Structure 1
Amino acid sequence: MAKETYQAIQAQIKRLQDKADTLRAKQRQPIIASIVRSLDEYSITLDEIKAAQTKGVSVRKSPGRPAGKAAAAPKPARQVAPKYRHPDTGDTWTGRGKAPRWLAAAEAQGATRDSFLIK
């Protein structure tokens, strides 16, 4: 097997990139035609598309939502009260997710999880 050179590999990359670009252009044509048909079918203007793309929202009224109402903002994550506390350091853990290292180490030494419960 002949030793490949950097220039040969770069030439191969260029050929493959050109081939990929050509294939991508061929695949785009039916998609563009479909989009144009949908634009015509639903009477969507380019200004509406640009506004939706830049703002991330629809400029037309949705049939299911009253005019002037914005989408509900996502609720902030709920704070959960700690359930376990390390007696020496005061570190706490809610009991959700992976157990903290201090608790895992204590359990490895024979302590029970219940001994760290906050009462």
Structure 2
Amino acid sequence: MRTAEQEAVLRSVRKLVAFWQITADELAGIPEPVRVQEPVRVPVLKYRHPRTGETWDGEGAQPTWLREALTRQGYTVEELRLPQSESASEA
């Protein structure tokens, strides 16, 4: 069973086909649209632990290693932040 929205779309398509006098053969020759793959987003690293090497891109929840480095190990955000040039070159 079709929804009301689907019925409305079909009515519109039928009207356009009739107006432009499009034949079924013409419709059959239309190729399927090509699906374009989304490019894979490579995260740009923004933070690195100086001793363990663990990294974080700044997206999502703050990782445990970063929280512990800031609260228990005495690091500052600036000490863990990667310079722009270094973080961009690793991505």
Normalising by the residue count of structure 1, what TM-score does the alignment of the two structures yield? 0.43
Deviations 1:9-51 (A, max 9, x none): xxxxxxxxxxxx5xx47x4655433321111113333345455
C-alpha distance in structure 2 between counterparts of 1:50 and 1:101, whole Å = 57
Percent identity, aligned pairs only, is 30
C-alpha distance in structure 1 between counterparts of 2:15 and 2:59, whole Å = 49
User: Which residue type is aligned with residue 67 of structure 2?
Assistant: A
- Greater Rg by CA: 1
**Are 1:114 and 2:91 counterparts?**
no
Please, which runs of 5 or more residues in structure 1 have no aligned partner? 1-20, 58-72
Please, which runs of 5 or more residues in structure 2 have no aligned partner? 84-91
Deviation, 1:79, is 4.1
Normalising by the residue count of structure 2, what TM-score does the alignment of the two structures yield? 0.51
Number of residues of Structure 1 aligned to a counterpart in Structure 2? 79
**Are 1:42 and 2:6 counterparts?**
no
C-alpha distance in structure 2 between counterparts of 1:31 and 1:78, whole Å = 36
Give the aligned partner of residue 33 of structure 2: 56
Structure 1 vs Structure 2 CA RMSD: 3.5
Give the aligned partner of residue 39 of structure 2: 76
Give the aligned partner of residue 103 of structure 1: 66
**Relative contact order (alpha carbons < 8 A, sep ≥ 6): 1 or 2 greater?**
2
